[in-house]
Amino acid sequence: MKNKKTIITYGTYDMLHEGHMRLLERAKALGDYLIVGVTDENYDRSRGKLNVVESTKKRVKSIEALDFVDKVIVETHKNQKVEDMQKYDVDIFAIGDDWVGAFDYLNEYTHVEYLARTEGISSTKLRAENFDMIKLGMVGLGRDTQAFLDEAAFVSNLKINRIFSRDFLALKKFTKKSDIIKYGHDNYDEFLDTNISAVYIDTALEEHYTFIHKALKAGKHVLCENPLALNKRELKELLALAKKEKVLLLSALKTAFLPAFNQLLKELDEGVIGEIKEVRATRTSLYKEKDYPESFMAQGATNILSSYPSLLVNKILGKSKNITFFDQGNEGYDVSNLIVSKHKGGAIGISHVATGIKSEGDAVISGTKGYVYIPAPWWLTKKFYVRFEDEHKSQIFNYEFDGCGLRYMIAEFSSLIQRGKRKSKMLSPSDMVGINRVLLEYNERKEKEKEQKKKEK
């Protein structure tokens, strides 16, 4: 016979404060045994909580240190509450009264109790009081400038009011219409000499190295569209310079920061499909139909698009041993490239990128026990299927995200700066080197081919 009353509650508990403590004490007073569910950072992000400062591990440790808490668990998905009610034979589910009515459906499984919160204190308020405003300047004026500004509005402690572009007329027109950007600069040195502490760079690929180098030397944190550089020497130089200047350098590969993508990696790490032997990913886009200029397409499909499949292949299979390219193109640049890479344990990565050919943009990860299918567009990962020989064991993981996905990347960049961190677990410097290995090696081989042709002439 059960002789103790079990209470369960859930929360993020970021920057554990007096309000959290009082709520938990009220919950414990309802019974004998208190279980606290701490939300996982991937789950938080999928729910739109972008500004959590502390890691899941640190928040769990903070709750475990409380002597009146009997057990700490991690909440990873929206259906877990019902599962936990049954698993732990819960008598009361306690939650703050700002959620009144939201969890009434759980009365079917246990008694729901809404508790009064402490007025005048919250994690949001503490974050505002304890972290300085990050002033970010934008470098480049293009098709995605407004999308970045729109998404950045959802990240706290971040202010954007300056932009640099060499196109003075376009710059003047944009700043005149913008409600956010008030200052336009057509001189990069003067732009860097303002009170901004970070920059976001979205320019022609061949300009990335120069803009990043100057920004790092000026002590600015940098978020830049991939690739950071077009050859190995320059990439290594930029990463070394960021380390020397003690600033953050991060590739703007938004896929790496999406909640579903990180949940996918977690499931694979736990061996859900066994040993992984093959990763296939396709990323194509007919930029000509979108009226992109020829100068953009002349950068080549590999330089423009290979970072995306390379991210998936590298994060899952690790460093490549050798790479084979099967490229096509009659315009002086590649409009399509099938890239095959070999990895540890005989695993193979197969990436298809194209700007002149259209294909289904999905991905398949094959293992010894089953496979994962990510439907198109896989790089905007929201849903993935885990499938087995026995169809009854198959699972679907669904992590919807808000907006176009940029806010998760911007939130990670901002959070790292606020916490004084210079490396992201989602996209580390070694990840960036591995991801860029494909296009750097491709460019290196093309340069050697050009030199050889010159000699033959």
CATH code of 38's domain: 3.40.50.620
Q: Mind listing the pLDDT tens digit for each residue in 224-239?
A: 999 999 988 999 999 9
**164 within a domain of the structure (yes/no):** yes
Where a domain ends, among 254, 277, 301? 254
3-state secondary structure of 98: helix
Q: Mind listing the pLDDT tens digit for each residue in 323-379?
A: 999 999 877 899 999 999 999 999 999 999 999 999 999 999 999 999 999 999 999
Asked whether the beta carbons of 427 and 251 are under 8 A apart, the reply is yes
**268 within a domain of the structure (yes/no):** yes
Average of per-residue pLDDT values in the chain: 92
For the cut 80, the answer to whether the pLDDT of residue 456 exceeds it is: no
Task: Assess whether 320 and 349 both reside in one domain.
Answer: yes
Task: Assess whether 279 and 346 both reside in one domain.
Answer: yes
Where a domain ends, among 231, 254, 277? 254
**415 within a domain of the structure (yes/no):** no
> What size, in residues, is the chain?
457
Percentages helix, strand, coil for the chain (3-state, rounded to 5) are 40, 25, 35
Q: What is the mean pLDDT of residues 428-451?
A: 90
List, as one string, the DSSP characters of 136-153.
EEEE--STTHHHHHHHHT
**420 within a domain of the structure (yes/no):** no
Task: Assess whether 268 and 248 both reside in one domain.
Answer: no
Number of domains in the chain: 3
Structure tokens given for 433: 């080197």
Task: Assess whether 280 and 303 both reside in one domain.
Answer: yes
Predicted local distance difference test score (pLDDT) of residue 331: 78
Instruction: Note down the domain range covering 278.
Output: 259-400+427-452
Q: Mind listing the pLDDT tens digit for each residue in 250-298?
A: 999 999 999 999 999 999 999 999 999 999 999 999 998 988 888 888 9
CA 251, CA 425: separation in Å to the nearest integer? Answer: 13
Task: Assess whether 435 and 300 both reside in one domain.
Answer: yes
For the cut 90, the answer to whether the pLDDT of residue 62 exceeds it is: yes
Helices (H) and strands (E) in the chain, counts: 16, 19
How would you list the strands of the sheet with 134-139, edge to edge?
183-185, 158-164, 134-139, 198-201, 221-224, 249-251
Pairing of strands 336-343, 348-354: antiparallel
Predicted local distance difference test score (pLDDT) of residue 44: 86
373: enclosing H helix or E strand? strand 370-374
Q: Mind listing the pLDDT tens digit for each residue in 156-207?
A: 889 998 999 999 999 999 999 888 898 999 999 999 999 999 999 999 999 9
Where a domain ends, among 90, 125, 160? 125
Task: Assess whether 72 and 215 both reside in one domain.
Answer: no
**417 within a domain of the structure (yes/no):** no
Q: Mind listing the pLDDT tens digit for each residue in 384-406?
A: 999 999 999 999 988 888 889 99
Instruction: Report which residue type is found at 142.
Output: G
